[in-house]
A and B are shown apart, each in its own frame.
Chain A
Amino acid sequence: MKHRAWFAAALLAAAAAVQAQEPIRIGSFLSVTGPAAFLGDPEQKTLELYVEKLNAAGGVLGRKLELVAYDSAGDAEKARTFAKRLIEQDKVDLIVGGSTTGETMAVVPLIEQAGIPFISLAGAVVIVEPVKKWVFKTPHSDRQACERIFVDMKARGTTRIALISGAGGFDKSMRAQCMQVAKAHGIEIVADESYGAGDTDMTAQLSKIKGTPGVQAVLNCGFGQGPAIVTKNYKQLGIAAPLYQSHGVASKGYIQLAGDAAEGVRLPAAALLVAEALPDSDPQKKVVLGYKRDYESRYKSDVSTFGGHAYDGLMIAVEALKKAGGTDKAKVRDAIESVRGFMGTAGAFNYSPTDHVGLDVAGFRMLEIRKGDWTLAR
């Protein structure tokens, strides 16, 4: 009889050992190709880099991390199908992904039904408003971007502005948010132009804005090629009013493309972009500098805040896994929600049952482009 007990115990121990060797699966669907490749490419690179680093340092909870990533190419239906695949076929433990709002929102019903923690890397405030139990996000919301910009505008005495935005989801969503919160910040929007995806020239729209009386500043909601073209056209037309961009252009690529025309342009962005210029006393400096050095030395390419969001998402997930002591989905979710004071590239994260963004506007710095580089705006 004793043998049987020992045998059973040995079997259990073996099973536990096998279980312990099983990797923690982190699923991801990102827009690595398609119109948002701008976002998905650095996001994927970041996830791959840090999963590798974490595994080299022994993994999490003694288990290796396994990244299962798919390219949803900015398509909401593909994103949904891949999310289903991650949940049903690859049986991942949690998901960090969703480069764009459209893809994220398409996946939300699935996530809520399956009960799996999901950290989105997309921008629009609608992702977390109303709060969904299993859905979190790491970038500042577009509403926060608008607010940050309007605060800066007010400080400079600007009250009448013109908007110009592209046709994409990010552009339109931010435009809608800005229109909503403008009044509360004492800003009046007197012109509202837009351009299409793949447009090569915005002088017509900017010309109209130039001809509108009383415009004190212009805000361009967009990312990718469009804002760079807008910036160049802006200079070409010699518009004197200051130009504000969104956090969608928070990468060196924008400065390279816009060239001299980017001089004096302001935008809200994470401290990541000015990591070296931060004073040593800045609580964010260590994290952003670390990420910047890791990414740039590995990929020989400038950091962008988009990759930073992926870093934040992954690290918060890892933190939550540690706190929960395992991959039990409900426990991990609770652990994410109880994250307090976690320092990421975008700022300090304080999640709560009513706040699944976790960031406040303080982490959002106002940057100005001077001499072809990012500087903190005075």
Chain B
Amino acid sequence: MASPAAAAPPSASRKGLVALAAAVALLPLALPNNYTYEVAILVGLNAIVCVGLNLLIGYAGQISLGHAGFFGLGAYGSAILAARYGWPTPASLAASVAAVSLLAWAIGRPVLRLRGHALAMATLGLGIIVSVVIATEDRYTGGPDGMSVPPLGIAGYALAGERAWYWVVGVLLVATVWLAQNLIDSPRGRAWRALHGSEVAASAIGIDPARHKLAAFVLSAALAAFAGALTAHYAGFITPAKASFLHSIELVTMVVFGGMASGFGAVVGAAVLTTLPQLLTVFKEYEMVMLGAVLMLTMIFMPQGLVPTLEKALAAARRKPR
């Protein structure tokens, strides 16, 4: 795997974060109805997963083709605790995220010893195991047709309506990106980047690959589970398709499309690939062809991903003598 682009200096990351916060704050001015709010919310939720996944793939250099499994487990965990066992939803959400993190820690240790395509296969297999179990245990999960999920709320107040959710997701997204930026600029983040460059070299200077890979894996799993639970409570419904390997592939595509090893690449990738299918509906039966073509052409002409390529183009334009 290619090593990540040189990380932007802290001042540039701050600028990016401010830009993101401004975008979140100002976007509602451009959203005419609840449907557009919904798309924005879905973008935000996908972006949270992708920022976490990017830490794993782009920085720590480990591939995961099964992250939808964590997303699905987070979603169903919270849904089942709340709907079948009557837990208050903030508690079910927290418990679900904690449980998935623990699971990720437990299976991460043996699985992360694998490299390259073996790791890809292992994570793919895990994702499939999760989605099949969810679809089959219909007494708890409602089976392939899915189950209803109570809304997020405490003591009578329920978080409902697209506008309220938009602000919640927006704030959480900015917080997640801030967290990711801080991590990347911290000693742990530098350790991850060293790992990505060369595991042997990293261990030669005292970085323990196993511990760091595990940390990245667990954190990205926790973020996926968190976003999954939020999605379930927002939509009021969850189906096993959210844990399917196709969804895992979608998530990885978003990260790579937007640009790995760029904190904002993940957000942009999620934004483009969540909104694009909505825009492509005008093509009716040609929608799939168009989507495939867009993906291919973008990756062929912008192999580093959208954001790094645009960053480079902007930097080159700035350097041009006036």
Contact = CB atoms under 8 A, between A and B. Distances in A.
Interface residues of A, number: 32
A76 B144 contact: no
B237 A172 contact: no
A81 interface: yes
A320 B147 CA distance: 31
A81 B276 CA distance: 13
B35 interface: yes
A243 B214 CA distance: 52
A271 interface: no
B235 A77 contact: yes
Contact of A84 (B34, B138, B239): B34
Given A77-B242, A109-B236, A102 B146 contact: yes
A102 B235 contact: no
Contacts of B288: 33
A76 B36 contact: no
B241 A76 contact: yes
Contacts of A19: none
B138 A81 contact: no
Contacts of A126: 145
Interface in A88-140: 88-89, 100-102, 105-106, 109, 124, 126
Interface in B93-148: 132, 135-136, 138, 143-146, 148
The majority secondary structure among interface residues of chain B is: helix
Contact of B281 (A70, A109, A124, A168): A70
Interface in A168-190: 168-169, 171-173, 176
Given A71-B281, A105-B148, A172-B138, A76 B239 contact: yes
Contacts of B32: 89
B42 interface: yes
Contact of A81 (B135, B278, B285): B278
Interface in A197-234: none
A176 B138 contact: yes
B23 to A, nearest CB: 21
A317 to B, nearest CB: 22
A106 B143 CA distance: 14
B33 A88 contact: yes
A80 B144 contact: no
Contacts of B39: 81
Contacts, number: 79
A334 interface: no
Interface residues of B, number: 30
A33 B32 CA distance: 29
A293 interface: no
A364 to B, nearest CB: 22
B38 A81 contact: yes
A265 interface: no
B245 to A, nearest CB: 12
A88 B35 contact: yes
Contact of B235 (A70, A106, A176): A106
Contact of A102 (B34, B138, B145, B278): B145
Contacts of B136: 167
Contacts of B199: none
Nearest to B147: A105
B35 A106 contact: no
B146 A106 contact: yes
B75 to A, nearest CB: 11
A196 B128 CA distance: 12
Given A81-B35, A88-B33, A106 B237 contact: yes
Contacts of A169: 143-146
A32 interface: yes
A172 B145 CA distance: 8
A75 interface: yes
A298 interface: no
B239 A85 contact: no
A173 B36 CA distance: 33
Interface string B221-248: 0000000000000011101011000000
Nearest to A122: B145
B31 to A, nearest CB: 11
A131 B146 CA distance: 19
Interface in B29-71: 32-36, 38-39, 42
A100 B145 CA distance: 9
Interface of B: 32-36, 38-39, 42, 132, 135-136, 138, 143-146, 148, 235-237, 239, 241-242, 277-278, 281, 284-285, 287-288
Given A76-B146, A105-B146, 14 more contacts: A71-B284, A71-B287, A74-B241, A77-B239, A84-B38, A85-B278, A87-B35, A89-B32, A100-B145, A102-B239, A109-B236, A167-B136, A169-B143, A173-B143
Interface of A: 32-33, 70-71, 74-78, 80-81, 84-85, 87-89, 100-102, 105-106, 109, 124, 126, 167-169, 171-173, 176, 196
27 contacts: A70-B281, A71-B281, A74-B241, A76-B146, A76-B237, A77-B241, A80-B237, A81-B278, A85-B35, A88-B34, A88-B36, A89-B32, A89-B33, A102-B145, A105-B145, A105-B146, A105-B237, A106-B146, A106-B237, A124-B145, A126-B145, A169-B143, A169-B146, A171-B144, A172-B138, A172-B145, A176-B138
